[in-house]
Chain A
Amino acid sequence: GQQLNQSPQSMFIQEGEDVSMNCTSSSIFNTWLWYKQDPGEGPVLLIALYKAGELTSNGRLTAQFGITRKDSFLNISASIPSDVGIYFCAGIDSGYALNFGKGTSLLVTP
């Protein structure tokens, strides 16, 4: 598999601010996923995207599957302290394995 390019690597924001992170790859993926991982826990699926151009929301989270199928972004609106964690993008390849980004570490101050 390949390692996806995920940015930013880390973010330090104040509660109430909006957050945006993105992922790019050199390969086309048919599915993009966004996960959140808390320390010492496994990743939890936040949003799954199946079609190029698809825009999907889950509460304060919004994610889009890029038209080129080589990128995706995740937005978090009105951040709260419990949004703290590491966010990973992942693309599913033809072998159904996940190719992960390096993660975006999010810190939210009250």
Chain B
Amino acid sequence: GAVVSQHPSRVICKSGTSVKIECRSLDFQATTMFWYRQFPKKSLMLMATSNEGSKATYEQGVEKDKFLINHASLTLSTLTVTSAHPEDSSFYICSARASRSYNEQFFGPGTRLTVL
């Protein structure tokens, strides 16, 4: 159990376009989903925390108008990178937590974004 999927697994886009990444919890309901960014050979950097039905909480330095997060249901959160630029190229990973009493977080397989 506790499977999290992400789609797409990799995407290449032109500069200026917007890209949507989906994160789904397949066999449990996720009260909270988290979005991370990871640069090569670096640790994961938390971008934002997303609670179902409410606005996402962004970490300092992360532009909320640039990285739009929608957590419309207990099994789906989306991250939209708007007007993407080459510096947005990165590995984006989501994680999901089942409930407040269950602290384990399960990660998706990640999405490799390359902006040309």
Tell which of B97, B110, B112 touches A96, judged by Cβ atoms closer than 8 Å.
Answer: B97
Q: Tally inter-chain residue pairs, CB-CB below 8 A.
A: 60
B109 at the interface (CB under 8 A from A): yes
Docked-complex contact B100 and A88, CB < 8 angstroms: no
Size of the B side of the interface (Cβ < 8 Å), in residues, is 25
Docked-complex contact B107 and A42, CB < 8 angstroms: yes
Size of the A side of the interface (Cβ < 8 Å), in residues, is 25
Q: Given A1-B59, A42-B93, A95-B49, A100–B43 Cβ distance below 8 Å? A: yes
- Distance A28 CA – B100 CA, assembled complex (angstroms): 18
Query: From B112, which residue of chain A is reached at the shortest CB distance?
Result: A40
Tell which of A3, A33, A42, A92 touches B110, judged by Cβ atoms closer than 8 Å.
Answer: A42
A52 at the interface (CB under 8 A from B): no
Flag A17-58 by CB within 8 Å of B: 1 or 0 each: 000000000000011010100001111110010100000000
Residues of chain A whose beta carbon lies under 8 Å from any beta carbon of chain B: 1, 3, 30-31, 33, 35, 40-45, 48, 50, 88, 92, 95-98, 100-103, 105
Q: List 25 interface pairs A-B (beta carbons < 8 Å), by A numbering.
A: A1-B59, A3-B43, A30-B103, A33-B104, A35-B107, A40-B91, A40-B112, A41-B110, A42-B108, A42-B110, A43-B44, A44-B107, A48-B104, A50-B103, A92-B105, A96-B49, A96-B103, A97-B34, A97-B46, A97-B49, A98-B34, A98-B44, A102-B43, A103-B43, A105-B41
The 3 closest A-B pairs by CB, nearest first: A42-B107, A31-B103, A42-B110
